[in-house]
A and B are shown apart, each in its own frame.
Chain A
Amino acid sequence: MEQPRRSLLRWLLGGGFSASIISFLYPAFRFMSPPEVPEASVNEVSAGKVQDLRLNQGRIVKFGSLPVLLIHTTAGEWRAFSAVCTHLNCTVQYRESSSQIWCACHNGLYNLNGQVVSGPPPRPLDQYSVHVRGDEVVISRRA
């Protein structure tokens, strides 16, 4: 009779102790994981006037909380891509000398279609649509 009572007590004490540890750790663990903050969905932004960006130039534009690279090509076309490198999240830039998109962090190169030319990026850049309304350049998400 002594042994079962002892093991029951040990089980109750051990179980209670473990449960209390878990009850302390669980809220702490949940506290540390950041809450999902819903952001207002942005589908279209104005990127300024046509004359603000000369031929063979690029500029980063705020698209909600995301950086988008707007390019005015030498041929006069407008292109826009996500400015976040698909390799390790750095922000890319337009290289006027080679008319390519370049990531300075690990030397990734993309062409003007967002396709990887060389370096470590595993995927092409996401492309956005660009429209010119009057003299205003508008960037929008692709359907």
Chain B
Amino acid sequence: MAEVTEPSKTSTWFEERLGLASMRKFLAHKTVPVHAGTMWYYFGGITLFLFVIQVLTGTLLLLYYRPSPGEAYESVQFIMTRVQFGWLVRSIHSWSANLMILAAFVHMFSVVFLRAFRRPRELTWISGIALLGLALGFGFSGYLLPWNTVSYFATKVGTDMAAAVPGVGHYIARFLRGGDDVGGATLTRFFGFHVAVLPGLTTLLLLGHLALVQKHGMSAPRWAEEERERKGMPLPQMAFFPNFFLRELMAWYAALGVLGTLAALFPWELGVKADPFAPAPAGIRPEWYFLAPFYTLKLIPSHVWVFEGELVGLFGFGLLALWWVALPFWAVDRKGVERTRWVTGAGVLLLAYLTTFSALGYWR
């Protein structure tokens, strides 16, 4: 007969106050489908892990960073040259930002190709896309903070695109810049967005996104279910805790290894201090995740019919974003039949556009 061990006084004390038994019970019931595409489930967790790294390293950088045009560049220079391990902390922050956005894109496309956005997960998809938008906002606002030439012109271009929105564009651009042009007020604002507004919004939305994932569970792709049905067997499941969780931890450890290697071997450069009265340098380009729209804007002529080219570009990007957000709604027809080929085609097309135009934007 198995010996039943009495719970310790400490665990009883915590149990009374926190009710951990219900959480253990909940975790014991949560499962993850096992099929050929299970590895793609790890990318959401990797994105979350890199976000945590961002919060930790960002908090460290806050100890020395000064958000003013006269001091921003110098304070980052100080972090990189004088503060012990400052170069590493900043390098990890910059690399982790890029890897986080890459992981988020992989997560998004895996959701598309595994059709994990299907009913009733439409809101999970929309909140995920909104989180990707916030991640890009983090990238855009954080890019300006070192106050170097490239970031200065990237912010000029980015905020001027907002100004092209008919009617309200001027107000949006003024709101973003804190004035009529990019300057000290813009830097202070972007700092505020980067360290307070965006983290607050992201935390709220992230909690909602995770709550929805918990509520609906992990989605299994239709093909995996059908394959098992043909064999007359249910789709195998893996316990979330500890089986999937431990595997996810290994994925985080691998991500940490990649991050540490990149940050140590390729430290993030600081560039030249921004000079509002210097011309934009040759070869200027934004971060890789903005290269596709950047190159598209280069190709659009000054006028398309009677409209200015940049307005046409902006309208096109807006339509593309709306169409993508609405994916779960046009992915089924009125009778509820899935438009599998449409979704795959759209995913492949978008992926092809992003990779081709990013490559062209980088090399041309």
Nearest Cβ in chain A — how far from B158, in angstroms?
Answer: 9
B157 within 8 A of A: yes
Q: Which residue of B171, B181, B298 is within 8 Å of A106 (Cβ)? A: B298
Q: How far is the CA of A120 from the CA of B178 in the complex (A)?
A: 27
Q: How far is the CA of A62 from the CA of B178 in the complex (A)?
A: 21
Nearest Cβ in chain B — how far from A38, in angstroms?
Answer: 11
Q: How far is the CA of A112 from the CA of B302 in the complex (A)?
A: 19
| 8 Å CB interface, A47-68 against B | 60, 62, 65, 67
B160 within 8 A of A: yes
Contacts of B161 in A (CB 8 A): 88
Q: How far is the CA of A10 from the CA of B278 in the complex (A)?
A: 61
Q: Knowing A105-B153, A122-B308, say if A91 contacts B179 (CB, 8 Å).
A: no
A104 within 8 A of B: yes
The segment out of A12-20, A29-37, A72-80, A128-136 that lies at the interface is A29-37
Q: Knowing A37-B179, A120-B301, say if A89 contacts B278 (CB, 8 Å).
A: no
The segment out of B18-26, B281-289, B339-347, B348-356 that lies at the interface is B281-289
Contacts of A89 in B (CB 8 A): 156-157, 159-160, 163
* Contact, CB under 8 Å: B310 / A120: yes
- Provide the main secondary structure of the chain A interface: loop
Chain B residue at minimal CB-CB distance from A68? B277
B303 within 8 A of A: yes
B185 within 8 A of A: yes
Q: Which residue of B185, B276, B298 is within 8 Å of A107 (Cβ)? A: B298
Q: Which residue of B174, B284, B302 is within 8 Å of A34 (Cβ)? A: B174
Q: How far is the CA of A51 from the CA of B159 in the complex (A)?
A: 38
* Contact, CB under 8 Å: B297 / A91: no
Nearest Cβ in chain B — how far from A22, in angstroms?
Answer: 19
Q: How far is the CA of A83 from the CA of B178 in the complex (A)?
A: 22
A137 within 8 A of B: no
B320 within 8 A of A: no
Q: How far is the CA of A120 from the CA of B304 in the complex (A)?
A: 10
Q: How far is the CA of A90 from the CA of B278 in the complex (A)?
A: 10
Contacts of A93 in B (CB 8 A): 279-280
B330 within 8 A of A: no
B175 within 8 A of A: yes
* Contact, CB under 8 Å: B280 / A121: no
B264 within 8 A of A: no
A87 within 8 A of B: yes
A125 within 8 A of B: no
Nearest Cβ in chain B — how far from A46, in angstroms?
Answer: 15
Q: How far is the CA of A33 from the CA of B178 in the complex (A)?
A: 7
* Contact, CB under 8 Å: A120 / B300: yes
Contacts of A104 in B (CB 8 A): 279-284
Contacts of B282 in A (CB 8 A): 104
Q: How far is the CA of A95 from the CA of B277 in the complex (A)?
A: 17
Q: Knowing A34-B185, A116-B302, A120-B302, say if A92 contacts B279 (CB, 8 Å).
A: yes
Nearest Cβ in chain A — how far from B146, in angstroms?
Answer: 19
* Contact, CB under 8 Å: B277 / A60: yes
A103 within 8 A of B: yes
Q: Which residue of B156, B175, B301, B303 is within 8 Å of A88 (Cβ)? A: B156
* Contact, CB under 8 Å: A91 / B309: no
Q: Knowing A33-B175, A88-B160, A121-B302, say if A105 contacts B181 (CB, 8 Å).
A: no
* Contact, CB under 8 Å: A62 / B175: no
Q: How far is the CA of A89 from the CA of B297 in the complex (A)?
A: 13
Q: Which residues of B contact A (CB under 8 A)?
A: 153, 156-157, 159-161, 163, 171, 174-175, 177-179, 181, 185, 276-284, 294, 297-298, 300-303, 308-310
5 pairs across A/B with beta carbons < 8 Å? A33-B174, A34-B174, A89-B157, A90-B153, A120-B310
11 further A-B contacts with Cβ under 8 Å, apart from A104-B283, A105-B280, A105-B284, are A33-B171, A60-B279, A65-B181, A83-B279, A87-B302, A89-B159, A90-B156, A91-B278, A91-B279, A104-B284, A105-B157
Name the 10 nearest CB pairs between A and B, nearest first.
A93-B279, A89-B160, A104-B280, A90-B280, A88-B157, A122-B308, A122-B302, A88-B160, A106-B298, A89-B156
